[in-house]
Amino acid sequence: MTLRQFRRRMGFHLLRLLAAVQARRGMAAVRRSGDRLGRWHHRFAFQQRRSLRRQLERLFDRPAGDPQCRQWLESAYRLSDRAILEVLAMYSGHLTPAEVAEGCEVTGLDVLGKALEQGRGVLLLGWHMGNGVAMATHLAERGYPVSVVHRESNKIQPGFYARGIPRMGLNAIPAQPAAVGVRQMLKTLKGGGIIYILMDQGIKRGVEQRFLNKRMPMPPGPAELARRTGCEILSARLCGVEPNWRFEIHQEATLDKNEPLEQSVEKLTRIMEAPILEHPEWWSWHQRRWARYPFISD
């Protein structure tokens, strides 16, 4: 283990401890702590904050020192850290699924119901915007069969997600090893279930696409699943953050199994890009994915 990995893992354990302590006081306490943590994170992340501000100014064609970009970043740090602390609290064993579901509102359930009636399963796309696992828990509490795809990280102890996700009444599907994950996803969709997956998850290998004016690898898995099963494609878009997370279920375009895979991935990439451009203050710009790639014109 490198020194950097050790520091990241220690940071994770400290956050997990804080989340567990606050979880005993309820979701409102976790929310407040996550909000404060994000404000301090933004304040002390000097180099990262400056770099991200310059990138946002370039992406949105804003002048140097633009106050709007500063506000977007402060909000992004605050909401991202709030969501992270909430997820850790959810997996601590000190919160019930019902408590978590109460802190999240979901509209567009009629769209979800009609999609499930088709009998081909539903691929529900998400972003690193708000607490998507809380949204999935809300659906599970309403009786929807939801599975969450998770990817292990070096800073998190092995099996953390696999143990934590089922505590919320959800089925956990690992993204790795790929063969195992794909089998479980196909089985879930063929059984008429719902798979919640983050399309903007950072990966090392994928199908290169233009995403927020950068060329970067995008995961082909969601497109391949949709093409192989003919499942319905929906998205869970964040539409509000205070006092609760508010999500809305949207119907998205279907994919043609005969079109090139790159074209299918490109369609999903445009779906993922639109809400970020509409609400840049809600996306976690600092979470080690988009920021490390150069702009296309560089």
Question: Would you say residue 80 has pLDDT above 60?
Answer: yes
Question: Would you say residue 1 has pLDDT above 60?
Answer: no
Q: Indicate whether 180 and 49 sit together in one domain.
A: no
Q: Indicate whether 87 and 111 sit together in one domain.
A: no
Can you tell me the distance from the alpha carbon of 153 to that of 288, in angstroms, rounded to the nearest whole number?
12
Q: Indicate whether 55 and 164 sit together in one domain.
A: no
Question: Would you say residue 77 has pLDDT above 90?
Answer: yes
The pTM of the whole model exceeds 0.85? yes
Instruction: Pick the last residue of a domain from 70, 95, 120.
Output: 95
Measured on CA atoms in the order 254, 260, 265, 267, is the torsion positive or negative? negative
Q: What pLDDT is recorded for position 136?
A: 98
Q: What pLDDT is recorded for position 6?
A: 59
Q: Indicate whether 216 and 75 sit together in one domain.
A: no
Q: Indicate whether 79 and 109 sit together in one domain.
A: no
Dihedral pair phi/psi, residue 176, rounded to 5°: -130, 140
Give me the chain's average pLDDT, please.
Answer: 91
Q: Indicate whether 78 and 218 sit together in one domain.
A: no
Q: Indicate whether 278 and 157 sit together in one domain.
A: yes
Instruction: Pick the last residue of a domain from 95, 121, 139.
Output: 95
Q: Indicate whether 200 and 159 sit together in one domain.
A: yes
Q: What pLDDT is recorded for position 270?
A: 94
Q: Indicate whether 114 and 186 sit together in one domain.
A: yes
Can you tell me the distance from the alpha carbon of 274 to that of 286, in angstroms, rounded to the nearest whole number?
18
Band of residue 63 on the pLDDT scale cut at 50, 70, 90 = very high
Q: Indicate whether 116 and 263 sit together in one domain.
A: yes
Question: Would you say residue 100 has pLDDT above 60?
Answer: yes
Lowest mean per-residue pLDDT among 66-80, 200-214, 220-234: 200-214
The answer to whether residue 77 is domain-embedded is yes
The answer to whether residue 290 is domain-embedded is no
Please report, rounded to a whole number, the percentage of residues in the chain having pLDDT higher than 90: 78
Q: What is the mean pLDDT of residues 81-103?
A: 95
The answer to whether residue 297 is domain-embedded is no
Number of domains in the chain: 2
The answer to whether residue 13 is domain-embedded is yes
Band of residue 47 on the pLDDT scale cut at 50, 70, 90 = very high
The answer to whether residue 295 is domain-embedded is no
Band of residue 10 on the pLDDT scale cut at 50, 70, 90 = confident
Q: What pLDDT is recorded for position 191?
A: 94
The answer to whether residue 115 is domain-embedded is yes
Question: Would you say residue 246 has pLDDT above 90?
Answer: yes
Domain holding 61, by residue range, is 1-95
Q: What is the mean pLDDT of residues 124-147?
A: 96
Q: What is the mean pLDDT of residues 242-257?
A: 93
